[in-house]
Structure 1
Amino acid sequence: MGKLIYARSELEIDIADRALLHLQLVIGAKLRRRESFFFSWKEDVAVGSGRSSIWLTPALPLYFRFTSANPGPVNREWMELLTASSNSGRGLVYTEEPGVPPSWNPRGHV
């Protein structure tokens, strides 16, 4: 279970390493182009359900911490979905990996 740590704050977002890899690639591409945007995800029932969002901008530091040395190959279809989402008016909205059973949860809560 990896973590996305936001702007030197106490906010640490638990995200499965495989999902974190794909998010790092999409977020990194946007920030390299100096683009700011929202990143949103659905919360697990264990933390109250609902939806959370953070504003990502090149001025704020992000730290991607992986627990696995190899989260697997990049899924190009998933990258395209996440990239299209990141370029929309809503910003990057986390979606599950295509072809993975819907019971899988990106935040690692079972």
Structure 2
Amino acid sequence: MGRLYYGSSTEPIEMPDRLMAHLKLVASSKLRRSESFTLTCKDSTIPGAGRETIWVHCSIPLRFVFDSAENVNLDRAYLEELARAATSTVGIVIDMADWIEARPEPVLVRAA
């Protein structure tokens, strides 16, 4: 599991490296153009866990820490889906229960 650090928080958002690699590319593209978006993460496998939403903005530090030193194969269709979601009013919504590290293909974003 990789870790996403946002702002001054020392508490990371944990997610599979494969998912984080896709998010990193979309976030980098959006932030390079000074475009903000929301990212919501929830884990429906943990009863009562709820969800966490962050407002991703170019003025707030963002750090991606991958467990693996190896690059992952990126799925173009999933990148396009994430990019579309990032421009929507809902933003990117990820349910961690949909992501299992061994899963060969990413699960597409669903609206909350």
TM-score category, normalised to shorter length: 0.7 to 0.9
- Return the letter of the residue paired with 1:26: V
**2:38 aligned with 1:30, yes or no?**
no
List runs of 5+ in structure 2 lacking aligned partners. 102-112
1:45-79 superposed Cα distances (whole Å, 9 cap, x missing partner)? 33733221011110000110001012421100110
Q: Is the 8 A contact 1:82 1:95 kept in 2?
A: no
- Residue number in structure 2 paired with 1:99: none
More displaced 10-residue stretch of structure 1: 65-74 or 21-30: 65-74
State the alpha-carbon separation in 2 of the partners of residues 95 and 25 from structure 1: 19
Q: Is the 8 A contact 1:39 1:55 kept in 2?
A: yes
State the alpha-carbon separation in 2 of the partners of residues 35 and 47 from structure 1: 34
List runs of 5+ in structure 1 lacking aligned partners. 97-101
- Return the letter of the residue paired with 2:13: I
**2:83 aligned with 1:88, yes or no?**
no
Aligned length: 101
Q: CA deviation at 1:105?
A: 4.0
1:6-49 superposed Cα distances (whole Å, 9 cap, x missing partner)? 11212310010000000000111111110112111222433733
Sequence identity of aligned pairs in percent?
38
Q: TM-score, normalised by structure 2?
A: 0.78
Please, what is the CA RMSD of the aligned residues?
2.2
Distance 1:42 1:85, change over 3 A: same
State the alpha-carbon separation in 1 of the partners of residues 95 and 31 from structure 2: 20
